[in-house]
Amino acid sequence: MKKVIITLAVALLITASAVAFKNVYSCEMPIQNRGIRDAVNTGDLDVLFIGSSTFRANVDMPMMDEAYDGRVYDISYGGNQLVATAIQYEEIKKRSDNEYGLMVFELGPMMITQEVALSDSRVIWDLSFPGKTALWQSMYEAGNTDFSMFYEYFVTSGMDDLITFPITERFYSTRYYKGAKTDESVSPGAEWLENEEFDISGKELVPAQADAVIDIIEECKRDGQPFVFLESPCYYRLQEDPAFERFRGQFIKLLDENEAPYILASDVDFDSHEADYFEDMNHMSAAGRREYTKELIRVLKENGEKLSQAAEPK
Amino acid sequence: MSLISLPFLIFMLCLLVIYYRAGAKHQWKVLLIGSAFFYLCANPVYIIFIIISIVSTWYLMKNPVKSHFIWTIVINLGLLIIFKYSVNFGIHDLIAPLGISFYTFMTLGYAHDCYDKKIKPSDNIWHYALFISYFPQLTQGPIGTYQEMQEQLTAYHPFDFQRIKTGGYRIIIGVFKKLVIAGRVGFYIDTVYSSPGGYGGLTLIVATLFYLVEMYADFSGYMDIVCGVSDMLGIRLKENFRRPYFSKSIPEYWRRWHISLNEWFNTHLFMPSVTTKWNKKVANILSKAFPKAKKGTLRLIVPTVIVWIVTGVWHGARSSYLGWGIYFAFIMLVSFCTQSYVKKFNAKIHWNPENRFVKAFQVVRTLIFLSFGEIIYRSESFSDTVAIFKNIFTDTRINGATIAAAMTPFGNGNQAAASVLIILVLVVAQFVVEYAKEKDEKAFTGHRYVYALLMIVGIALFGVAGKSNFMYQAF
């Protein structure tokens, strides 16, 4: 009996320690080339992108580096949500006194239709404990939680990364540079892109995501933080889809109502019909990434001063 | 009530307390009430059908004459067919009662044994009801026989802490296999098999191998849990697995996988079919077509086909299950028919069956044939099966791009490497344990507290929450 109790107690102790470590200290793990900690450690930045895998795939960081003299970073997570973006913004502001010349948030029309959820376990890793609980609170308020999700969020999610950290970190860190992808991804070809099926007609605006957009705008204005919402071009089939255009319209209306600056895909000279530029419907190939980044730098430089002047503390 | 859930844990704790406090006269009654409660928790309405099965079979087989035996078959198989195959008759909202496939087999096995006078019919309907409804084996087996179970179920089992520990340890092993191993590889398989046409050969091979791991971890994990639960109650259930993936042939594999089901088919369908007059007639006709073939072998052909088609259809009303049954019927027949030629050939080339390389070759060969069958079984449609085989045989390349593609179903790039590493460690660890036990049954029996500790931590930190439904529960 004594041995059974000791075994259970030790198991509980080990589990509790691992859970506590993950929830409290994971944001301090020495992660290279991606994430909030690495971005903060880079120091003052001229441009900081915060978005989803679209930003990760579509922004060429060596080109950005050259244009901004290394003062640029891309924080991105798979399927990153606007609710999470708002929390990530707060986290960045809390964790350093760095200056950010311009924060670029993602104007992803589909982002306002996403149910509030955990899209990428890296989000949990990068957030401090208060950040984690804030995101959980948002999920809870949206009614998207149950016990198994709670357990996954606070216990199991990200444990793989924690236990394999010494090995996998070396592998991961080579795949990114300042948060953006480094691989030479190629297009699957026009035939694939033309035949890829998608149906977004049944989606609807999710109020919590719309509220998060307003939160981001209000906080940036309060902090006097220059910012802009950026729409990345998608392959023309998605870009011109009526439902997609409807969501874009809703997003833009939200930004207009709250007097927030934005750059649309159509403001950047980029050919969305060119199949070679896309890896799938909304992620660019290496060729597309470079072509797009070249134009994006020009647009950002043109608008940078205007955006900085617009950001007066309120 | 899932076996991996808080309600089941509470149920077990209450049951153990009441069970061991009950005297010799009442212990089995506690089990019967506990089993009824367990069944009622699943769906109260469906207890009616298990009661119909129990009462009719017990009553009819009190006098085990041919007409009663036939009526027992009609009633029980009728209920099974109505509930399991109603979809094929255009009825879509009928949910099969929990464990109907398994308790129907136990019922029919009992009736057949009574009819064959192998056992004396039960004279106590409550004892018989407990044999059929005993909750650990009710939902997924093992399919126990009346001879093995009855005495144990009604005997008095005084409290023994050693038994609780042994049972508890086995439950931990089962939960670990289910939530950590099966749960983790399951994501990969579900992703790939939901649209297999879009994946290359290498990814499909990995998914199929993972499916073998998932099936074993899921099903044997379940058996570990129910055997552990039953051990705690002092009742030993039949072992359903004997490291099947180390089998050197497909027939051997089926003697080591889901043993109780295969024994049931062997005893109640295969052997009786072999000795029937019509089968002898068929064998005579076949012997004219194949004069060199042995009559004994020819007599196995039709029963083998029947057993495997029934086994396939027993899994459900899907063409893939039927295809799976036909595939294994074919493999078994080829195995029977070529056995003597293979032996002669092996002797000719001085092929030593005890050589470990020969054994390894045979094991790998068996796994390959098994994988083909499981592809048919797991595919959601015939066109998926074709697409998988086509891609495996025409589009399997190993290079950087295909390896990267094979990593994709593990999750996005942020998690893939860690998942791969964890799964590799788990699969290798399971292989090491199974291999050691294949060599020596007593391997890994020491240091139980250390293993239990590691497994509990593993379950807590790496278990896939919300994946507590077992694969065979659907049958």
| Residue contact A15–B457, C-beta within 8 A | yes
| Residue contact B415–A10, C-beta within 8 A | no
Which parts of B21-106 are beta strand (E)? none
Same domain, B208 and B272: yes
Q: Is A45 helix (H, G, I), strand (E, B) or coil?
A: strand
B460 in contact with A, Cβ within 8 Å:
yes
User: Average model confidence (pLDDT) for chain B?
Assistant: 87
Site from A144, A168, A175 to mutate, B interface, most B CB atoms within 10 angstroms? A168
Q: How many residues does chain B have?
A: 475
Same domain, B449 and B389: yes
Same domain, B305 and B379: yes
The answer to whether residues B324 and B312 touch, using CB atoms and an 8 Å cutoff, is: yes
The CB density around residue A21, as the number of other CB atoms within 10 Å, is 12
In DSSP notation, A287-307 reads: HHHHHHHHHHHHHHHHHHHHH
Choose between B420 and A229: higher pLDDT: A229
Say how far apart CA A181 and CA A290 lie, in whole Å. Answer: 12
Closest CA in chain B for residue A152: B465
The CB density around residue B419, as the number of other CB atoms within 10 Å, is 21
A 49-88 near B (Cβ less than 8 A): 53, 77-78
A166 neighbourhood in chain B, CB within 8 Å: none
- Residue of B161, B414, B461 with shortest CB distance to A155: B461
Closest CA in chain A for residue B456: A11
B194 in contact with A, Cβ within 8 Å:
no
The answer to whether residues A91 and A128 touch, using CB atoms and an 8 Å cutoff, is: yes
Same domain, B38 and B52: yes
Same domain, B118 and B222: no
Say how far apart CA A101 and CA A82 lie, in whole Å. Answer: 21
For chain B, the straight-line distance linking the first and the last C-alpha, in angstroms and rounded, comes to 16
Say how far apart CA B379 and CA B375 lie, in whole Å. Answer: 6
Helical ranges in A44-81 per DSSP H: 53-58, 61-68
The answer to whether residues B84 and B104 touch, using CB atoms and an 8 Å cutoff, is: no
β partners of residue A176:
A181
Q: Is B49 helix (H, G, I), strand (E, B) or coil?
A: helix
Closest CA to A38 of A47, A25, A28: A28
- Residue of A4, A148, A168 with shortest CB distance to B421: A168
Write down which residue in B159, B186, B216 finishes a domain. B159
B165 in contact with A, Cβ within 8 Å:
yes
Q: What is the pLDDT of residue A314?
A: 44
The answer to whether residues A154 and A19 touch, using CB atoms and an 8 Å cutoff, is: yes
> Residue A204, Cα to own-chain centre: how many angstroms?
21
Write down which residue in B159, B177, B193 finishes a domain. B159
Domain count within chain B = 2
| Residue contact A155–B460, C-beta within 8 A | yes
Residue B473 confidence class, pLDDT cut points 50, 70, 90: low
CA distance B460 to chain A (A): 7
Same domain, B117 and B205: no
Which phi-psi region, left, alpha or beta, contains residue A43 (left: φ > 0; alpha: ψ -120 to 50)?
left
Residue B94 confidence class, pLDDT cut points 50, 70, 90: low
Domain around B94? 6-159
Q: What is the pLDDT of residue B327?
A: 92
Which parts of B228-358 are beta strand (E)? none
A78 neighbourhood in chain B, CB within 8 Å: 412-414
| Residue contact B460–A15, C-beta within 8 A | yes
B424 in contact with A, Cβ within 8 Å:
no
Say how far apart CA A32 and CA A13 lie, in whole Å. Answer: 30
B453 in contact with A, Cβ within 8 Å:
yes
Same domain, B150 and B181: no
Q: What is the pLDDT of residue A305?
A: 72
Residue A8 token pair: 């259970």
Same domain, B36 and B139: yes
- Residue at B64 is within a domain: yes
**For A178-216, how does the pLDDT look when each residue is reduced to its tens digit (9 = 90+)?**
989 888 888 888 888 998 888 888 899 999 999 999 999
In DSSP notation, B227-253 reads: HHHHHHTT-PPPP--S-GGG-SSHHHH
A1 in contact with B, Cβ within 8 Å:
yes
CA distance B463 to chain A (A): 7
The CB density around residue A126, as the number of other CB atoms within 10 Å, is 27
* Long-range Cβ contacts of B386-393 (<8 Å, 24+ apart): B387/B196, B387/B197, B388/B196, B388/B204, B388/B208, B391/B196, B391/B197, B391/B199, B391/B200, B391/B201, B391/B204, B392/B201, B392/B204, B392/B205, B392/B208, B393/B201
Mean pLDDT, residues A64-72 taken together: 92
- Residue of B413, B452, B461 with shortest CB distance to A156: B461
Is residue A251 scored above 50 in pLDDT? yes
- Residue at B1 is within a domain: no
Site from A160, A165, A169 to mutate, B interface, most B CB atoms within 10 angstroms? A160
Say how far apart CA B108 and CA B115 lie, in whole Å. Answer: 10
Closest CA to B390 of B207, B206, B203, B201: B201
Site from B461, B462, B464 to mutate, A interface, most A CB atoms within 10 angstroms? B461
Backbone angles phi and psi of A73, in degrees to 5: -155, 155
CA distance A116 to chain B (A): 19
- Residue of A10, A120, A148 with shortest CB distance to B414: A120
Same domain, B144 and B228: no
Choose between A255 and A120: higher pLDDT: A255
Choose between A102 and B288: higher pLDDT: A102
Same domain, B309 and B451: yes
Domains of chain A: 25-310 (3.40.50.1110)
Q: How many residues does chain A have?
A: 314
- Residue of A11, A19, A167 with shortest CB distance to B421: A167
Percent of chain B with pLDDT over 70: 95
B415 neighbourhood in chain A, CB within 8 Å: 121-122, 160-161
- Residue at B214 is within a domain: yes
Q: Are strands A227-230 and A262-263 parallel, antiparallel or unpaired?
A: parallel
Mean pLDDT, residues B393-408 taken together: 82
- Candidate from B168-182, B242-256, B336-350, B445-459 with smallest mean pLDDT: B336-350
CA distance B435 to chain A (A): 26
**B370: exposed, middle or buried (Cβ count in 10 Å: 0-12, 13-18, 19+):** buried
ipTM for the predicted complex comes to 0.77
For chain A, the straight-line distance linking the first and the last C-alpha, in angstroms and rounded, comes to 65
Write down which residue in B159, B177, B195 finishes a domain. B159
A122 in contact with B, Cβ within 8 Å:
yes
The answer to whether residues A39 and A26 touch, using CB atoms and an 8 Å cutoff, is: no
Residue B467 confidence class, pLDDT cut points 50, 70, 90: low
Residue B351 confidence class, pLDDT cut points 50, 70, 90: confident
Angle at B376 between CA B372 and CA B382, to 5 degrees: 135
Same domain, B469 and B344: yes
Same domain, B274 and B362: yes
**For A168-183, how does the pLDDT look when each residue is reduced to its tens digit (9 = 90+)?**
888 888 888 998 988 8
- Residue at B111 is within a domain: yes
Say how far apart CA A68 and CA A71 lie, in whole Å. Answer: 6
**For B364-374, how does the pLDDT look when each residue is reduced to its tens digit (9 = 90+)?**
999 999 999 99
